[in-house]
Copies of this chain bind each other. A is one copy, B any other.
Amino acid sequence: MDAVDDADQLPETAKNDVTSFFESAPPLKDAAETEKSLKEFVDRNASLSVNGKANRVVCVTSGGTTVPLEKRCVRYIDNFASGHRGAASTEYFLMAGYSVIFLYRRGTCQPFCSLLPDDPLLECLSVADDSTIEADPLHAETVKRAITETRAAVADGILLKLPFTTIFEYLQILQLISASLRGLGPSAIFYLAAAVSDFYVPWESMTLHKIQSASGPLDMRLAQVPKMLSVLRNEWAPMAFYISFKLETDKDILLAKADMALKKYKMHMVIANELSTRKEEVIVVTEQEKVTVRRDSTQAGAEVECPLVELVVDRHSAYIKKVDP
């Protein structure tokens, strides 16, 4: 959620920074395999098109990126993010008929699993006397839904899950996704809910081995991650519909920063979250308006992502109509 910050760079400088970031990054493992899955996913999606219009696809990013401090990594800087927002939003996009590329941090919350306890295997299941596995009654429906819905969506080709851990992996896979969605024009959404590091240690200046603890304090200098959002928006997939997220703990600066991100990065929507209330409400900032979206607190289990995705889908439809009538 953070890579949209205060850069005031000329587009050319941003592009150069991005180029040198990618050139110095460790190569992505399984890049060919990821490209293949993306191609299959987009081809399959084309076959779902109605009246010659491509089916809508959203790339949902979710969870925090890590920044390794050593090449053979023992220590890293991480951004707090459970991945709940991205996982829950994925469910509502699927229900709204979108195909979803779910770019998620390994180990974070998965679609259809957001209402499960942390350790569902040990907390929800038991083995009966006849050696069959049983779910406890309280969680049975949630567990079964988690197991069946994700598998079904993946098998139907409407959900593609791609995991990442480091900032290097995240940005490299995001670039592959943008290349594969570029052809969909305005039918594609980038819903950038991941908590992306602002700072990193450039690979070539990183120590190979574990940093040794000498006596005394440790001084570290971190470089800024280049403003990839600007390049994604303007170069990689310029016709797509863009939604980014702003998370702050200080309410006073939240809306100002959301406004700034909207203008600087030409986002179509910026979702402003305050850390302490983010599960109850968010403020959706667009050029025309600021809308507060709240979860339905009269309903048990109702999530703020339900009305949020509804609003996004509505504005995305209007965008498609305008751009590609």
Interface of A with B (CB < 8 Å)? Answer: 2, 5-8, 66, 69-70, 72-80, 106-107, 110, 113, 116, 118-122, 125-127, 131-135, 143-144, 146-148, 150-151, 195, 197-199, 208-210, 212-224, 247-250, 253, 275-276
Closest to A247 in B: B74
Q: Are A275 and B121 in contact (CB under 8 A)?
A: no
Q: Are A249 and B77 in contact (CB under 8 A)?
A: no
Question: Among B74, B213, B221, which residue has its beta carbon within 8 angstroms of that of A249?
Answer: B74
**How far is B211's CA from A77's CA once the two chains are assembled, in angstroms?**
13
A–B Cβ pairs within 8 angstroms, 24 of them: A2-B213, A7-B215, A66-B78, A69-B77, A72-B249, A72-B275, A74-B79, A75-B197, A78-B78, A106-B118, A107-B107, A120-B121, A121-B121, A121-B147, A125-B147, A126-B147, A133-B134, A198-B213, A209-B248, A210-B275, A213-B224, A216-B224, A217-B223, A218-B222
Question: Which 3 A-B pairs rank lowest in CB-CB distance, beginning with the nearest?
Answer: A198-B213, A72-B249, A5-B213
* Separation of A220 and B133 alpha carbons in the complex (Å): 50
Given A77-B78, A78-B66, are A199 and B217 neighbors across the interface (CB < 8 Å)? yes
Q: Inside 8 A of A121's CB, which chain B residues have their CB?
A: 113, 116, 120-121, 143, 146-147
B122 & A249 in contact (Cβ 8 Å cutoff): no
What distance in Å separates the Cβ of A82 from its nearest Cβ neighbour in chain B? 10
Give the complex CA separation of A314 and B148 in angstroms. Answer: 48
Residues on the B chain within 8 Å of A8, using CB = 215
Q: Tell me the minimal C-beta distance from A114 to chain B in angstroms.
A: 13
- Which residues of chain B have C-beta atoms less than 8 A from A198's C-beta? 213, 218
Task: Known contacts A74-B80, A147-B127, A217-B224; decide if A210 and B132 are in contact (CB<8 Å).
Answer: no
